[in-house]
A and B are shown apart, each in its own frame.
Chain A
């Protein structure tokens, strides 16, 4: 059974690339296309092993999801959280709350190599 990775990203192409990178290192990938859907998914479903969270989302921002759910709900204590943003300043601001900050543009290779290292030893 492979680990679950949740991609929260409104751009479908980017989500596709991220999903491919994560799949290529053995993750099972789920995708939420906006803040609201992500919120529903986070409140109801299984806690993912890894979350790739875009900070700029429609309806509910990444920052809000992060502070309202991921940091308050103890189910996510062990979840690895990577945030993606085009704004280096924002990345810095949330840097302490998350495990990794990736500044867009995000390279396929970079994401693949990083997440490969984050997988639990088999």
Chain B
């Protein structure tokens, strides 16, 4: 309905003042037409009821009224099609002329109808121009003056003054209305500008955000690792497509569920289930471990997400990354089985060589001369050395693969010493060295440790000491530090010692102390590296002190655990 009236009343022109005036003029024109039509209806009904339709006055009135209606519509047409100014001028003139015929010259010039001429004065400032009110004041004044003179009456000076005062008032009000509207338009324009700028900025930032979010989503979608993001209650809030193929589950089964539901999935091995429960129940450390899912091995890394802006670093949840580790796990399994096979396959023939050489030396098949026994001894020594090297290499390989583990059990320190003596007394004696051992009385009879590994540490240290000592003794001491709840192993020799420059490096893999003499000692330089790694695995520490020409002291300190 509003649109209908808008179409009827509005004139689409660029100048807002012109448009406003033409709209007002249209309203007045249509109002006038309406009034004329009502008047026409009144005349017709009135003359019908009184039977005066055919009277010449009535006919004239009807003709005049209809002409006025068409004239008004014509002005409306001019207003719409051509010019608001001309239409307004025409209308005002028509109005003024019409007023001329509405009453007697006496009444118009000096009586009750004087006021009629104020109407064009007031309207003209609205629909034509603010200044036009003066024009119509002048016109009105001219008309009443002319009429007054034509009937020999004095000119009504007060009416003329009144017309001009009204014109002044109309002009002022119209002008202030126009300037107010002008200001309003400027304000509107500024407002429009601001709104436009804000809208543009908002659109840009939204676009940026979309690009950013899209980029993050693209990254998440395209990485090969499966990603699940959990809130702090371990509800999965986000997962990428890779996790779906990795777990071979529809994404709905993963997202918007609690992780505990996924952990109960039958594809997960019992051991893996335990690991995952441990992860969600002790969620303080960044973790990385492997799980078995169906036929796959997956490595799982979890990282807590904190909001550092908040007080006390609020935990927002956890990002878990699942990586397909099946191939790597298979390679590792093959590698460790390879290591096991190599270990067995290398040692068995060496064992046979050692055995046969011993049979020679022991003259099992008849007497041997001194040279033959000597040769057998050399075979034995070299085979033992080779065996030691293989053992070291295998240990090193296992440590690198993270396969070397510590198995705790009850250990008798005294038995440890006995074993070392039974293994190495002869080796020391062969070099005319004394191998002695002592033990702090306070050391418990039984401690918890890894017996074979402790023995390996001692064998490595003592063998090394024997190797680099030409005269004197090797002393083993097992000590007790009750105040620290620690115990330890100390191996002291009177050998050639280690140059100070080499001390920081002696626990490095494949390291031998530089210098001609040491090269002749053979070995890969793995012995001390293995010792250090074993000590680390036992949560202990190893230190060395040495003075060239005086000897060396290796000290290992271990946590003391008793049964």
B-binding residues in A (CB < 8 A): 11, 13-14, 17-18, 20, 24, 56, 86, 88-89, 92, 104-109, 112
Contact = CB atoms under 8 A, between A and B. Distances in A.
B355 interface: yes
B347 interface: yes
Nearest to B357: A108
A104 B350 CA distance: 10
Contacts of B356: 13, 17
Interface in B343-368: 343-344, 347-352, 354-356, 358-359, 362, 364
Interface in B325-382: 343-344, 347-352, 354-356, 358-359, 362, 364
Contacts of B364: 20, 24, 108
A13 B347 contact: no
B215 interface: no
Contacts of A13: 349, 352, 355-356
A112 to B, nearest CB: 8
Contacts of B350: 105
Contacts of A107: 354-355, 358
Contact of A14 (B352, B358, B451): B352
Contact of A105 (B362, B387, B409, B451): B387
Q: Which of B350, B359, B407, B451 has the most A CB atoms < 10 Å from its CB?
A: B359
A119 to B, nearest CB: 18
A11 B407 CA distance: 30
A104 B352 CA distance: 10
A14 B348 contact: yes
B358 A108 contact: yes
B452 interface: yes
A109 B451 contact: no
Nearest to A106: B351
Nearest to A88: B452
A92 B407 CA distance: 11
Given A13-B349, A104-B347, 12 more contacts: A11-B351, A11-B352, A14-B348, A86-B347, A89-B407, A92-B409, A92-B451, A104-B348, A107-B355, A108-B362, A108-B364, A112-B362
Contacts of B387: 105
Contact of B351 (A14, A24, A56): A14
Contacts of A104: 347-348, 351
Contacts of A20: 359, 364
Contacts of B347: 86, 104-105
Main secondary structure of the interface of B (DSSP, over half): helix
B246 to A, nearest CB: 35
10 contacts: A13-B352, A13-B356, A14-B351, A20-B364, A56-B344, A92-B409, A92-B452, A105-B350, A105-B351, A105-B354
Q: Which of A14, A24, A108 has the most B CB atoms < 10 Å from its CB?
A: A108
A35 to B, nearest CB: 16
A18 to B, nearest CB: 8
Q: Which of A20, A92, A106 has the most B CB atoms < 10 Å from its CB?
A: A20
Contacts of A24: 364
B458 to A, nearest CB: 14
Nearest to A11: B348
Interface residues of B, number: 20
A109 B362 contact: yes
A86 B343 contact: yes
A76 B499 CA distance: 59
A10 to B, nearest CB: 9
Contacts of B343: 86
A22 B65 CA distance: 151
A16 B240 CA distance: 63
A86 B340 CA distance: 10
B358 A109 contact: yes
Q: Closest 9 A-B residue pairs measured CB to CB?
A: A17-B355, A13-B352, A108-B358, A105-B351, A88-B452, A108-B355, A11-B348, A86-B347, A105-B354
A109 B347 CA distance: 18
Contacts of A56: 344
Q: Which of B347, B355, B409 has the most A CB atoms < 10 Å from its CB?
A: B355
Interface in B117-156: none
A90 to B, nearest CB: 11
Contacts of A106: 351, 355
B135 to A, nearest CB: 121
Contacts of B351: 11, 14, 104-106
Contacts of A18: 355
B355 A14 contact: yes
A108 B349 CA distance: 14
B361 to A, nearest CB: 8
A120 to B, nearest CB: 23
Nearest to B348: A11
A89 B406 CA distance: 11
A18 B452 CA distance: 25
Contacts of A88: 452
Contacts of B451: 92
Contacts of B349: 13
A94 B34 CA distance: 120
A31 to B, nearest CB: 15
Interface string B21-57: 0000000000000000000000000000000000000
Contacts of B348: 11, 14, 86, 104
Interface string B402-414: 0000010100000
A46 B347 CA distance: 33
Contact of A89 (B352, B354, B452): B452
A45 to B, nearest CB: 26
Contact of B352 (A17, A86, A109): A17
Nearest to A18: B355
Contacts of B409: 92
